[in-house]
């Protein structure tokens, strides 16, 4: 039976150029293809801005889209003021917008548009729970937890050198943890949908009382299979990710300082390519032997298919790294940290290589560089895993079955 579903998101999920956008749009696409009527309301932010009239036709057909301009850019002055004069987390306050609230009220009151389900995409939509309940008190609300947010901040705090920044990260981590745990226990939610089994375990340890269902980031496998292919450049390493996100920046700086010089010394004919949107000046102006910085690439899949070995050096994060899933789906051999691979059922040495220390990372890369058949085998095993477990139709079907039993 067809349902009317409202999805609220803190950023517009098109273009699908980062993990959060891909995860949200795959949900929209999956609901639509399952025969449901989808409405998506998202914040239109500086970093993820879209003109609704310019959306491609194949995207417009998936849902009724609304985008509200909200300025969520970081303000050092507001952050400092928040630190000393508020007990709330600044990174929650940033997403509180009167314009968004007003638009939400209008959507919730649309005649003939009573929703059967409202799904919040992430923690930062929780400030609007009271409005939803006041207008549609009988409509079930579900939290889709893309990450355990406080883990991201806590890991950054633990890794930061002593100083003001470490203190700020500590306060931020503690405040987000308190807010997040309160929302996990919020009786307004009928269910919580984490994106990985690892995150589900965190929820269970917190003794969350509502039903929990893991629904991973899913993909249009057919689109991945149709991505432009060619013979990958031999002895090439590549990175792709949002380099305006602090954990990504820290991970790549670590790699460039502690891993790449040794690799380039051992294999002078190996080349490293770095792609990503919104690069900080450090990366956009980077000049290092054997490294090419491309910035944002037009076709991420074509770029990934043109290179041999993918690197994902990440030490702070939560949820699931969508770029790893994409790389695996495309048959790439990947060397990643334990944190980067969290939430994905990988097997070290079989469908991925895991390395957390510089020496280990160097050794794993050396093994792959010297053994092209191993690169091919790991990539084939990786693609098989993703095709079997991350198909959008399968994942949406399981989620709707869960909603039928536990929510409606």
Q: Which band of pLDDT confidence, cut at 50, 70 and 90, is reported for residue 320?
A: confident
* Rg of the Cα atoms in the chain: 21
Task: Choose among 312, 314, 316: nearest CA to 352.
Answer: 312
77, two tokens = 């002055």
| DSSP 3-state of 154 | helix
CA atoms of 99 and 70, how far apart (whole Å) = 7
Flag whether pLDDT at 221 surpasses 80: no
User: 222-389 adopts what CATH topology?
Assistant: Rossmann fold (3.40.50)
| Residues 174-193 pLDDT 10s | 999 999 999 999 999 999 99
Question: Which pLDDT score, from 0 to 100, does residue 148 have?
Answer: 92
Whether the predicted pLDDT of 220 surpasses 80:
no
- Across the range 220-225, mean pLDDT stands at 73
- Lowest mean pLDDT, pick from 19-28, 34-43, 254-263, 330-339: 19-28
> What are the structure tokens assigned to 233, written together?
């450049």
Mean pLDDT of 254-269: 98
Closest by CA to 387, choosing from 347, 344, 330, is 330
Rounded distance, CA 199 to CA 84, Å?
A: 31
As a whole number, mean pLDDT of residues 59-78 equals: 94
pLDDT, tens digit, for every residue of 80-123?
888 888 888 999 999 999 999 999 999 999 987 689 999 999 99
pTM of the model: 0.85
Hey, do 4-218+391-406 and 222-389 end up sharing a CATH topology, with the first three levels equal? yes
Residues paired with residue 334 on neighbouring β-strands, in sequence order: 310
Structure token digits, residue 3 = 């349902």
Residues 154, 172: Cα–Cα separation, whole Å: 8
The helix (H) or strand (E) run that includes residue 282 is: helix 281-284
Across the chain, mean pLDDT equals 93
Largest interatomic CA distance in the chain: 67
Q: What is the pLDDT of residue 145?
A: 95
Q: What share of the chain is helix, strand, coil (3-state, %, to 5)?
A: 45, 15, 35
The tens digit of pLDDT for each residue in 367-399 reads 999 999 999 999 999 999 998 888 888 899 999
Domain 4-218+391-406 classified CATH 3.20.20.30? no
Give per-residue pLDDT as tens, 322-360. Answer: 899 999 999 999 999 999 999 899 999 999 999 999 999
How confident is residue 47, by pLDDT bands cut at 50, 70 and 90?
confident
Domain borders along the chain are: 4-218+391-406, 222-389
């Amino acid at each position: 039976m067809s349902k009317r579903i409202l999805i609220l998101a803190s950023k517009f999920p098109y273009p699908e150029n980062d993990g959060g956008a891909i995860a949200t749009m795959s949900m929209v696409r999956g609901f639509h293809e399952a025969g449901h009527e989808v409405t998506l309301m998202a914040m239109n932010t500086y970093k993820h801005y879209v003109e609704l009239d310019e959306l491609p036709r194949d995207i417009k057909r998936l849902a009724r889209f609304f985008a509200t301009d909200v300025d969520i850019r970081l303000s050092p002055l507001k952050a400092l003021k928040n630190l000393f004069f508020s007990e709330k987390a600044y990174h929650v306050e940033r997403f509180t917008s009167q314009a968004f609230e007003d638009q939400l009220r209008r959507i919730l009151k649309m005649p003939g548009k009573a929703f059967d389900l409202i799904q919040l995409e992430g923690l930062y939509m929780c400030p609007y729970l009271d409005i939803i309940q006041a207008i549609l008190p009988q409509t079930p609300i579900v939290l889709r937890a893309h990450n355990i947010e406080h883990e991201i901040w806590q890991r950054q705090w633990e890794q930061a050198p002593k100083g003001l920044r470490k203190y700020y990260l500590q306060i931020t981590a503690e405040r987000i943890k308190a807010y997040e745990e309160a929302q996990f226990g919020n009786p307004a939610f009928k269910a919580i949908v984490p994106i990985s089994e690892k995150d589900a375990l965190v929820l269970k340890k917190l003794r969350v009382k509502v039903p929990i269902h893991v629904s991973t980031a899913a993909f249009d496998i057919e689109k991945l299979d149709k991505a432009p292919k060619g013979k990958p450049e031999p002895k090439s390493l590549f990175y792709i990710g949002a380099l305006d996100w602090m954990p990504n920046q820290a991970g790549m700086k670590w790699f460039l300082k502690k891993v790449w010089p040794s690799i380039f010394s051992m294999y002078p004919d190996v080349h490293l390519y770095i792609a990503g949107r919104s690069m900080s000046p450090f990366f956009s102006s980077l000049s290092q032997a054997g490294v090419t910085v491309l910035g944002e690439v037009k076709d991420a899949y074509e770029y990934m298919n043109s290179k041999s070995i993918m690197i994902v050096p990440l030490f702070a994060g939560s949820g699931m790294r969508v770029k790893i899933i994409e790389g695996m789906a495309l048959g790439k051999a990947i060397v990643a940290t334990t944190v980067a691979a969290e939430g994905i059922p990988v097997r070290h040495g079989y469908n991925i290589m895991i390395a957390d220390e510089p020496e280990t990372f160097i050794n794993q890369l050396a093994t792959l560089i010297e053994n092209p058949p191993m690169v091919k085998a790991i990539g084939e095993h990786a693609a098989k895993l993703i095709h079997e477990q991350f198909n959008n139709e399968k994942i949406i079907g399981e989620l709707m079955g869960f909603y039928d039993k536990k929510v409606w």
